Every structure is written in structure tokens, then in C-alpha cells.
Structure 1
């Protein structure tokens, strides 16, 4: 089939990020595979239907080999900051194909076990309770992102990986910059600062190992194999960023959905046992990831009747796929009791998110805590605009009122 012949690619601007679902409804019908340009000028092909997205996420012809990224980015004028990030922080399992991916995931999996995650429940519950206490003390008006949704997963992942407490706000600023849609000197500076910080942290864990997961990852070996310092630094970047960004926006987006749908909120308050399923519905309905991380074609591939040439970037829309009515009837309606099996919020296939169990646990505890402690929470004003990131789908602020005083 011929390549799509639109005169101009779709440009992802402010209107797109503020209401991506409206655009995805159109695209799934008219242009399910479309050329697009991100806010940093990077051109790519975007896939929006559920069936195509699920297939693409597990298509070996769509490579994630970070070693080729600098050359491909240079050819597409991805910007010097994008190349800095590709060079210094991209050598993790999310940017690798088998057999490298298999090796990296196996080594990291030795530390990131289900048993280890389940053992974190009491500490996460304690953190959530303490944050709710602080919110109550600051009543009536607070920003839910700043007071709860950010510090909960950030505290957890930093404790899990052994990141010093006095560096966490700095880390948040770097993370926000790196995951934004911008490019240029500020982006490059954040990538360089993040790289130096994580390199020093990994070296410290090698010299002074503790009981944290990052020390365990540094020590991890299998059949005489171990992660190199560069691989460990990149893996620390992946786990730290993914370990808080996804959950911040799972909590923020999910609470906003409940605040705008009193019926579904009342349903959860009356039956808290629905909360784990509600977390899955929040992930489907308004998940924390917009477009999955970067892939590129190793040969021409065809999706929905459109041929994408070789050496082209491809981004799979998780938001678009999860609202596809062909997969989920009445997909634009929040339903905390829905059968939400098969959603793609954590990806699919070999790159399915290794941190999904931790995000689910944190999400469950967060919603149980907030619903129980603040049954009358309401919006204090309209939330801040969405972040202009092709990767992260989240708000810049969520002002709520939790008391009358």
C-alpha cells in the first residue's frame, strides 16, 4: 500500500495535549497511522487503534536499540539535547532489543521481585497517611500534585533505590525538563546534570552498598554477567523516572476523573474493595503515558493499510488505544467496575513495564487513603494545563479543597 499522502504532518501543539482524546477519536477513524511532529520538532509516525497498537508494541521489526538512536536523531534534526540524552542515559532495557534486553531485564529482575514489592505495603501506607496528615494541616486549599501525588511515589522510589532525600526536589526538576516537549540548552543541561548525579550515585553504591534495590542491581550478576557502570546508570535513570512519573499522573489523572464524576466516586466510597479494579480503569481511561517510548522501523512495515518506510520513528498511542471503542465499549465513559483486562497503559510484550506492580500498589494505597480521609474533596478551581510531553500525560497542577475552614 502507498505511504499516506497528507500534505502536512499532524503537529502536536497545546490544543493536542490539553485534549488528546478528541484528536484520537478523529484519527482512529480517518488516519489511524499518521505522520506527526512533536513539540521538539522530531518527526515520527503515530499509531492510534488498539489492535494496531498492541501488535506494534510487540513487533520485532520496530526496534528500540539505543545504539542507533544518535545517528537516527541526527538525520531527523532531533536536536543536540536529544542526542545527549540518547548517548548518556539510554542504555537501559527499555531501549534494547533481544538478546541485550533479555540480559538486562533478567539482571534487574533479581532485585525487582513481586515479593520485594509486596513487602513495601506497610511503608507506603505510612507515607500516604503522613502526607494526608500534612494535607489536612494545610486545609482548606492544597495542590494535590504537590502535596500528595508527587511526594508519595518519589519518596517510595527514592527509598527503594537509596537516593539521598536532599536531592529529590532537584531530581524532580531535571525529570520534568527531560520529559517535557522542549529541546535546547535547558534540556541538554538537565540531561547532563542527571547523568552526573546518577553516575556518582551508582559509584557510591558500588563502593558503599546498602540494603536498597540500586545496591542490589549494582551487585546483580547471572552466569558471570553483570551490568556495566554505564548500564547501571541508565537503569537507575529508567527506574527513578518511571518509578515516580507514572504514579504521580495515575493519582492526579484518576482523582480528577473522580472529582468530575461524583457517581463513580460514591461507588468507590461505598465499596472500597473496587479500588484495585478502579486503578486499572484509571490507567485505561486517562493513563499517565500518552505515546509509548520511541521505536524505529528496521524495514518497511504496514499498519492499517499504510506503509511506514525503514528507519522511521514510530510512537504508539497508549491513550488512543485504550479509548478505542472497538476494544472497550462506551470507551469514553469512566466505569470503575468495568472489565478492563488487556489495557495497554503499561505497554505490552517484552517491554511491559517492570515497575507495574509497584505503580499498582501505590495507586491502590493512594486512592484508598484519599477517599477515606477526604470524602468531600472537590476542585478548588480548574486544574492547571496538561504537560506538553509526548510521553507523559499529566497535569501541571490540581488545586483541591479538602475542608471548610
Structure 2
């Protein structure tokens, strides 16, 4: 496999796909998009400018929703996507839509160079999901990564180094929120029953009680797998147990692979570094063999497959916390949690859609990086961090408005 998959955007192909996408999205992915008119009109006036769109990423269907947005605008976008998505026919299809790869957890020079090139073009329109992966949460966002805005400023810096006027480059916060369009009670009942059967749990109480019982059993099973469950564990809060579980798994895997721990770094970054080490190391067999204790002791639980499974779990439960459903018991939050549990119990990467959804899209106020360029030259990291926090806040505030 090559180290980098470049975009091979084919305008005629993109136009054909944009025309057929609304029907395909409804039929295959059970989703249609409703785009906020005010923000869309503003975006329409900028469609021929340099654009960096930064949407939240609650589901695997978000790329489709943004593609529907591009179709309504009548222009192609470029998209940055994880390297793992480019295998086989799907990868070739994505490349022709304007998608290119990034290998997470490393400084992917080819991907960075491609991003710089696109944002330097007069009409470069690029989509980056700044959460770095799916949050599986419809109402809240995870911390945004700074890379997209950082590279956008670097693209402007190219013009400064050549002594040319700094052009406009607009960062666009985009909020995506899903709403089920049909009665979800039968869907919830079927999903709970299937999980209870798999976990050998007798149904008891209302739907929320049943969900908590399932979640408790899943948490207990994972704790036992990693030798963390004790009778005293039940006395701790779920959030404390989840935090301890994440910390333990990360520490064990980083130590096993010889990765220096970075406890202040985002969990996703640490997970991606472990995944990269697993995929690219030629010495894994020796490392895992060395990790096995003498025969008189309990064998190590860690194998290559066990580490891969642990990383899947950490990403699946990265943003989860006790009270997410109780704080606002909507069908969407309920089924967010059900989907996470299904991914764990049934080891399914992408469970099928639960029902037809309306994806509401709200485009936030554009930020012209040209207006911040002088400040950026004086305090690069400070300005980037401040703008990224502002963009994240805008996306969250607009999510709150999409009720």
C-alpha cells in the first residue's frame, strides 16, 4: 500500500454524484439534509473563495451530509480522511470525489503538503473534521485539533514570504445534528432486547433502567477482562471507573510498545500513536513474546489482537460519560449510547442506521484568517489556539440551537 493517497478529483464524476446523492442518501443511509438558510446564503457568497470547513463528527454519515452541502452549493469540496479508508474500490471512489489520506499520530508530510497546496489555491475548498474521529454523540463536541487552522495560516505565510498580498481564507464552523423522523420506540425496544439476549440479562424496568443495566454489564465485563474488577469497584462512580479503565489500558499498551506516555495529550492522539506502532512495527512479535511472564505466573492478556481491540474500545467510548442520556433523554442520545454498546458487544464497526434521520446543518459565522494574520505572526500558537477554541464554541452553540 502506498504511504499517501492523493485526491484525484474528477469534476464530471463529482457532479454526477452530487446529482444522485440525495436519493442515495435517503435510500441507503436513511438520511436527508436540511441546511439552515441564513448560514447557507452567506456560504453561497463565499463559494469561490478559499474555504476551510470544520464540521463536528457525530456519525459515520457526516461526510455524506457535507457532500450534500457541496451539491447544494454546486461546487466540489476536497476532504481529508483517515488513511485506513483508502483500501480497494472505496479508496479509488473517495479519491475521485476529492478525498485524500492522512496517517494519524505522525507528521504525515505528504498529507500536510497536499493541504498547504489546496489552501493556497484561489478556490481551494477543504473539509477537515477537527475532532479527529467520530464522537458518537449527537449533541456535544469533543476538543478540536488545531492542525487545520495551523496549516491554513502556513498557507497564508507562503504569500507573505513571497512579498505578495495576503489573500482571504475563510474558516467555516459547521454544525451537524441528527433527528429521527419516525417513532423510535419500536427501534429502541428491539435494540435493547438484542443486547439483553447477547449479555444474558433479563429485562427489568423502563427503557432507561434497561439501558443502564446493559451498560453496567458491559463495563463490568471489560473491567474483568483487564483484571480491574473488584467488589469495591461498584462503590465508585461510573465516570471514575471509566477514567481508571482508560488510563490503565493506555498505560499498559504504551509500556508494552515502548511509547513514551503523554498523560496531558488527548486520548485519541495516544490511541492513534499506538495503532500506528502496531501497523508499522516489524518487531511486534518479539515485543509481545517478551511481555509473556514465566509459565508459573498468569499469562499476559496482551497480544496484537488484544491491543487492537482495546484501541477500538477506547475510541468507541472516548467521549462517553454517565448522565449523557439522563441530562437530555432524547431518542437521539438514547440511540447514540445503544450504538456504542452494539459496537462493543457485537464487535461491529458501523452498525446499520436505526431509522431515517434528518440531518440539520447550521453554518456558523465565517472567520477570515487574513484579518488575524498580523496577530498570528506575533504569537502563532496563541492565535491558533484561541481561534480553534472559538470555532469549537461556535459549533457547540449552534448544535444547542438545532433542537
- TM, length-normalised to structure 2: 0.29
- TM, length-normalised to structure 1: 0.28
Bigger Rg over Cα: 2
